[in-house]
């Protein structure tokens, strides 16, 4: 049974949830599993100094009151680091493959 006045309040609440943008994806403390392709559904660690001890796994659309907006430079640094790691992994894989074929 609906009570008068309840539904508009619920709709307003849901609208705030749907449009909130101070989420983990935009937070400086979000460490995504895949920084190159991170989106709202991306999962990763929260590395905020006050939360790190809890080993939280969050998604890009989660949020909390410790949010701090990240910078373009921070995103670029994360992506650069991930691309270097992928290149090194690719090189290591390539070397292992060459070594395996050479035997």
Residues at the contact surface with ligand SF4, assessed by CB under 6 A? 24, 27, 29-30, 46, 48, 51, 58, 62-64, 66-67
Integer Cα distance of 30 and 43 in angstroms:
9
Q: Nearest approach, Cβ of 51 to ligand SF4 (angstroms)?
A: 6
> CA 44, 26, 77 angle in degrees (round to 5)?
75
Query: Residue 9 or 53: which CB sits closer to ligand SF4?
Result: 53
Quote the radius of gyration of the chain (alpha carbons, Å).
20
Query: Residue 51 or 75: which CB sits closer to ligand SF4?
Result: 51
């Amino acid at each position: 049974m609906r009570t008068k006045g309840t539904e508009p309040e619920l709709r307003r609440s849901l609208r705030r949830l749907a449009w909130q943008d101070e989420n983990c994806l935009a937070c400086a403390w979000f460490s995504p599993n895949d920084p190159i392709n991170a989106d709202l559904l991306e999962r990763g660690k929260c590395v905020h100094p006050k939360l790190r001890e809890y080993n939280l796994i969050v998604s890009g659309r989660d949020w909390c009151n410790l949010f701090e907006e990240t910078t373009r430079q921070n995103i670029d640094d994360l992506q650069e680091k991930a691309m270097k790691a992928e290149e090194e992994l690719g090189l290591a894989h390539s070397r292992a493959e060459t070594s395996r074929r050479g035997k």
